[in-house]
Structure 1
Amino acid sequence: MALGTLLAGLLFGGLLLTGWLYLIQDRLLYFPISDLAGDPGQLGLEFEDVWLTTADGERLHAWYLPHPQARGALLFLHGNAGNISHRLDSLAIFHRLGLATLIIDYRGYGKSSGTPSEHGTYLDADAGWQHLVTARGFSPRQIVLFGRSLGGAIAAHAAVEHRPAALIIESTMSSVADFAAELYPWLPARQLTRHVYPAVDTVAAYPGPLLVAHSPDDEIVPYHHAARLLAAAGDRGQQLNLRGGHNDGFLVTGEAYVAGLDTFLTDVLPQ
């Protein structure tokens, strides 16, 4: 009787934990910050404040950084934490590489309206793409989609929809469901995941050139996620190994990172 009571209690506790994780998973996935910590002008970069309207009516804040001799345009889709002001180092790198750059804050991030969701972030990326094409006059073959961490899954989805010149994904998980199953192996994590972000599937469906950048020392998204993405891409995929952790790999890698991006961009953008 005591054993049965114990087992029933454990089962009930497990169900409570499972239900709690299901209900709060938005807070486990999205970590937006409203206040901006700075702007590109602090690095001497010219920029414009831009406001975009999504297909479902949300208002997104973005920065557009022009380049006087742009070799192409880059749509920057950042990770799941912070906001656009926490990506100034990357904006400086992309400017150095000769790219006009549009970086957007997803719904619920920074000054953008709304609440983040998987479908919502896809619509946000679409709004960024449309701005580069319609307001800035870039053709799809001049645009590179770049996504870091969770942004890589969003960029991959946009790449299937819009067929850019190329796709770059950095420190990205093969899917949130894969990541959750590894993080919570004792739970039916795949079945509970509401925001799946199946990057491995969208990468497989994307027919264009792909660069996967990842560090073997990534302490958040294990390196084998990059291997899955490269396997899904087949011979369309190229690899750029980084050094350092999940959030600073591109900085720790330094000039080798910049050179790797430059080589890839030279191959995929019209001269």
Structure 2
Amino acid sequence: MRAKVLIRLAVAVTIVGVVFGGVFAFQRKLIYLPTGGPLPAAAGVLPGGRDVTLTTSDGLNLASWYFPAPGAKAAVLVAPGNAGNRSFRAPLARALTGRGLSVLLLDYRGYGGNPGEPSEEGLALDVRAARDFLAREAGTPLVYFGESLGSAVVTELATEHPPSALVLRSPFTDLAAVGQRHYPFLPVRWLLRDEFPTRDTVARVKSPVTVVYGAADSIVPAGQSREVAKAAGARVVEIPGADHNDLVLSEGPELVDAIVGAVR
């Protein structure tokens, strides 16, 4: 009888170990959801658009799109969320260039046909290459705009290279807090290799911060975005009834106004 109990216990421990081991090994496949190419030329997306190559400090060449606005008063570095590619952000670029802002649509490593595999460390290198390009090319103040996961990416960048303004859309407190909400049966905080501690990092940012979020966000709870805003002493734009992937949070007038209004 005792032997049977021990065997069952061993089997259970083995199953748990396999499940946790699989989650640990493949967790980045659950976090990063890139869409590949091929993609059209930037000029075919918006007149005057340019295909640009950003070279990271670890030697990757990342295809991205740059849309300069004539007489631009600022340039916006768009750091996307964890899914899709730069073509998904083209409507936002169209809206912002129409308001007199130049726009760089970054695609991270592994996204939009780019080489490499995404990770917290890798995305930090990617956004630095994007910032270096704009610092050389734009000749205007820089605004960092981060969407969801991208909020963590540009917040970390802002601690080293402060922008004229930082705009965060649907930021989370840290990645584990979001993961724990969606996988409550897993010890997410123990398993995660990428942390993205937005709330703690934003407290060290000296630039003016604006936080935009949807009151009905089912992916990143609105309460987490409010915590980030509180840590930053940020201006807050809450969009009633908006969920995480609603168009109003991707290209809507409230979002566009928040970015344009952040320009100093």
- TM-score between both structures, scaled by the size of structure 1: 0.89
In 1: Cα distance, 2:51 partner to 2:156 partner: 25
Going by fraction, where is helix more abundant, 1 or 2?
A: 1
Report the counterpart of residue 211 of structure 1 in structure 2: 210
1:240 corresponds to which of 232, 237, 242:
237
Determine whether 1:82 maps to 2:81: no
Q: Give the drift of 1:195.
A: 1.0
In 2: Cα distance, 1:256 partner to 1:195 partner: 31
Q: Which runs of 5+ in 2 are unaligned?
A: none
Q: Give the drift of 1:161.
A: 1.2
Q: Over aligned residues, Cα RMSD in angstroms?
A: 2.0
Q: Superposition pairs for residues 1-271 of structure 1, below 5 Å?
A: 1=2, 2-36=4-38, 38=40, 41=43, 44-138=46-140, 142-233=141-232, 235=233, 237-242=234-239, 243-250=241-248, 254-265=252-263, 269=264
Q: Give the drift of 1:183.
A: 2.2
Deviations 1:71-100 (A, max 9, x none): 111101111111111111111121122111
Is 1:45–1:92's contact at 8 Å kept on the other side of the alignment? no
Partner amino acid for 1:35?
G
Task: Tell me the number of residue pairs that the alignment of Structure 1 and Structure 2 aligns.
Answer: 261
In 2: Cα distance, 1:246 partner to 1:49 partner: 29
- TM-score between both structures, scaled by the size of structure 2: 0.91
In 1: Cα distance, 2:132 partner to 2:259 partner: 24
In 2: Cα distance, 1:252 partner to 1:161 partner: 27
Deviations 1:150-203 (A, max 9, x none): 111101111111011111110222211111222223322111100111111211
Q: What percent identity do the matched residue pairs reach?
A: 34
In 1: Cα distance, 2:110 partner to 2:262 partner: 33
Q: Give the drift of 1:38.
A: 4.6
The 10-residue stretch of structure 1 (104-113 or 42-51) with the greater mean CA deviation from structure 2 = 42-51
Q: Which runs of 5+ in 1 are unaligned?
A: none
SS at match of 2:262: helix
